[in-house]
Amino acid sequence: MAYTAEKPPLPETPEQLRARIPGWGADLDPRDRPSVPREVPGIETGAHWDFPERQVEHSPRERSIEHGTMPPVFGTSAPLKGASGAIRRFAYERYSEGRAAHWLLLIAADRVDAVESHLTALASTRPDNLLTETGIKAEITHHGLSSRTAGKRVDVGHQALDPVIVAGPWIVAAGLTILGADALRRRIDARTARPTTSTAQGTGTGAGQQMGQQAGTAPVDPTVAAPSYQPGMS
Amino acid sequence: MRAMVYRGPYKVRVEEKEMPRIEHPNDAIVRVTLAAICGSDLHLYHGLMPDTRVGHTFGHEFIGVVEQVGPSVQNLKVGDRVMVPFNIYCGSCFFCARGLFSNCHNVNPNATAVGGIYGYSHTTGGYDGGQSEFVRVPFADVGPALIPEWLEDEDALLCTDALATGYFGAQLADIAEGDTVAVFGAGPVGLYAARSAWLMGAGRVIVIDHLDYRLEKARTFAHAETINFAEHDDIVVEMKRTTGWIGADRVVDAVGAEADGNLTQHVTGAKLKLQGGSPVALNWAIDAVRKGGTVSVMGAYGPIFSAVKFGDAVNKGLTLRMNQCPVKRQWPRLFEHIRNGYIKPNEIVTHRIPLEHIAEGYHMFSAKLDGCIKPVIVPSAA
Ligand SMILES: NC(=O)c1ccc[n+]([C@@H]2O[C@H](COP(=O)([O-])OP(=O)(O)OC[C@H]3O[C@@H](n4cnc5c(N)ncnc54)[C@H](O)[C@@H]3O)[C@@H](O)[C@H]2O)c1
Ligand SMILES: [Zn+2]
Ligand SMILES: [Zn+2]
């Protein structure tokens, strides 16, 4: 077929469409479309204030650093707590919404939150029940197998693995972060335990020296504990 | 009270939770009579939305009865039957004053790019949602409206998001008489968008999905032609072929972040979260629309970057339009369409589930079992 100025022909005329489809063309005129134009200055909203009264902030509420002020109204669901809360607070205080780090930290915190919450629940009267919480019973009551084998679905291949793929890498990453932080702390402990490091000498009052004394019960060979570490290098 | 709570990816349960309180003079507390699970809830359920906290109650589609009102509430009283738009908004900020209700600046400390949404993670403000017996409704004089006498409960419920969003999506597509409109996604939003495209005078409406039972609904409910993309080696070529090798005039993305059809995009975007979602459907939309055409994006994406084919959008001179739906703006006109019999919203409801069984409801809707298109939740106190 040749490319001409003609619009490709339609299978039905407007009259046929109007007869077949209830309401065909009812909003043909853009002025009948409630979202045209997009902005309607002065639109009636029901607000009887210029600026809303401020909701009481019971505990310091995290907020995006792209806000110049605390919005007057906010949700009070699930306040920050635990290690996930610390990561989330850091993500909000340190990075704007423009930074990938902001969102990646928040997602990492979500995975930490799930682990923390499962552990806390274990010690409670209501531990998590994987069978009921995943709703897996629906596989039996709502035709799991036949629903998946009907027709050509492209999602059946990855569905079974989805929960693992979603949670796995993040939990590993969270674990490695905790291990990494722990290793770093031990290296710093070992370094500050070294009687001859410049930091320990320089401070004089000796946080390092005190720690050195604590560690003294099990003498550490600083050259083994931190062979190549230079102060200020991390 | 009983409420659904999130327990981590793919895990939810119903718990005894403290009753919501009036936190602000213009708050109301609403006893929920019907709620629904939305395709957007799946992004939370799958752990894709940043700052989704364990203990959070989801649910942004609900109707109910006013149980309590704050001291400054003028338009509602205890006992009123109300429908509540999924947007939480102040009605008075720069954005609300211009009708951008979904982009309110006064309700979400956690992010400036998103407004407030009920039960939709802390990224949209940290408000508990309506998959629960009771819910706090901020700005009771602004968002909620009395349910018209003649409107059935399920139809009112569907007006709080899915129907309004589909209708809005068709409007953003700038449809003119005789346009060929392609809708990616035959979920509730896509079905309503396809149905609405006819109201705006479309000459052809084509719905694309890989779930046959949903495509069947697209034919019967939305009167549309359908294509199962799994039956085609390359859906873009098929779209070109069926539109005289020009492309569709207008395309609606009603899929969003969890699009299937390309495993790499799906796993990096929807699963590993290395992108703000899998842009498979959006990229298909960009490829399948004609030059100079419009792509209306109703599908939701996460806040980090996605691998979108922007170069082609530039070279083709496309108009890309998108937003979260400003729900209440759609209502007066939608009510007319429902009253005239042009749309019967609850024809797409497939399941009615007691709140206590919501975990099975999530699993079924997420895994697309049992012909599920729209599950409605019935709280115990309803
Ligand atoms: N902008 C808004 O205001 C707003 C409001 C509500 C929902 N949404 C978003 O709209 C989207 C759809 O919502 P829904 O409730 O209909 O969800 P849904 O999950 O029921 O429907 C999505 C459909 O897309 C299909 N699909 C997957 N990959 C596809 C592909 N590559 N091409 C075509 N179809 C594909 C699925 O099979 C499914 O039928 C979601 O992303 C949701 O978050 C946005
Ligand atoms: Zn929704
Ligand atoms: Zn506002």
ipTM field: 0.96
Whose C-alpha lies nearest to ligand 1, atom 15? Answer: B39
> Mutating which of A64, A74, A96 best tests the B interface, going by the most B Cβ atoms within 10 A?
A74
Residues with CB under 6 A from ligand 1: B 38-40, 42-43, 161-162, 165, 184-190, 208-211, 214, 229, 254-257, 259-261, 280-281, 298-300, 324-325
Could you say which residues of chain A have pLDDT below 50? 196-234
B144 and B122 in a common domain: yes
Q: What is the pLDDT of residue A133?
A: 92
The whole domain housing A5 covers 1-52
Cβ of A35 within 8 Å of Cβ of B273? The answer is no
Give CA–CA dist B132/B112, Å, rounded: 27
B125 and B231 in a common domain: no
A134 contacts on B by Cβ (under 8 Å): 10-11, 359, 363
B204 and B77 in a common domain: no
Give the residue from B281, B301, B322 where a domain finishes: B322
Q: What is the mean pLDDT of residues B317-342?
A: 98
Q: What is the pLDDT of residue A227?
A: 35
The answer, yes or no, to whether residue B380 has pLDDT greater than 60, is yes
Give the residue from B275, B294, B322 where a domain finishes: B322
B179 and B157 in a common domain: no
The answer, yes or no, to whether residue B274 has pLDDT greater than 90, is no
B300 and B341 in a common domain: no
B291 and B228 in a common domain: yes
Q: What is the pLDDT of residue B264?
A: 83
State CA B283 to chain mean position distance. Answer: 20
Residue of chain B minimizing CA distance to A12: B203
Q: What is the pLDDT of residue B122?
A: 98
Give the residue from B304, B322, B340 where a domain finishes: B322
The CATH number assigned to the domain holding B60 equals 3.90.180.10
Q: What is the mean pLDDT of residues B156-182?
A: 98
A29 and A78 in a common domain: no
Give CA–CA dist B280/A14, Å, rounded: 33
pLDDT, tens digit (0-9, with 9 covering 90-100), for A44-60: 999 999 999 999 998 89
A33 contacts on B by Cβ (under 8 Å): 171, 200, 333
Q: What is the pLDDT of residue A153?
A: 86
Q: Let me know if residue A120 belongs to a domain.
A: yes
Cβ of A78 within 8 Å of Cβ of B56? The answer is yes
Number of domain units in chain B: 2
Q: Across the strands, what pairs with B28?
A: B69, B137
Work out the pLDDT band at B259, boundaries 50, 70, 90.
Answer: very high
Ligand 1 centroid–CA B164 distance in Å is 14
The answer, yes or no, to whether residue B161 has pLDDT greater than 70, is yes
Q: What is the mean pLDDT of chain B?
A: 96
Q: What is the pLDDT of residue B233?
A: 95
Q: What is the mean pLDDT of residues B359-376?
A: 97
The CATH number assigned to the domain holding B209 equals 3.40.50.720
- Contact in structure between B93 and B139 (CB atoms under 8 Å): no
Q: What is the pLDDT of residue A221?
A: 40
Q: What is the mean pLDDT of residues B326-344?
A: 98
A88 and A65 in a common domain: yes
Q: What is the mean pLDDT of residues B71-81?
A: 98
Minimal Cα–Cα distance from B55 to chain A, Å? 6
Cβ of B122 within 8 Å of Cβ of A75? The answer is yes
- Contact in structure between B72 and B26 (CB atoms under 8 Å): yes
Q: What is the pLDDT of residue A169?
A: 59
Number of domain units in chain A: 3
Q: What is the pTM of this model?
A: 0.90
Q: Across the strands, what pairs with B283?
A: none
Q: Let me know if residue A3 belongs to a domain.
A: yes
Give CA–CA dist B108/B214, Å, rounded: 35
Fill in the DSSP letter of residue B124: G
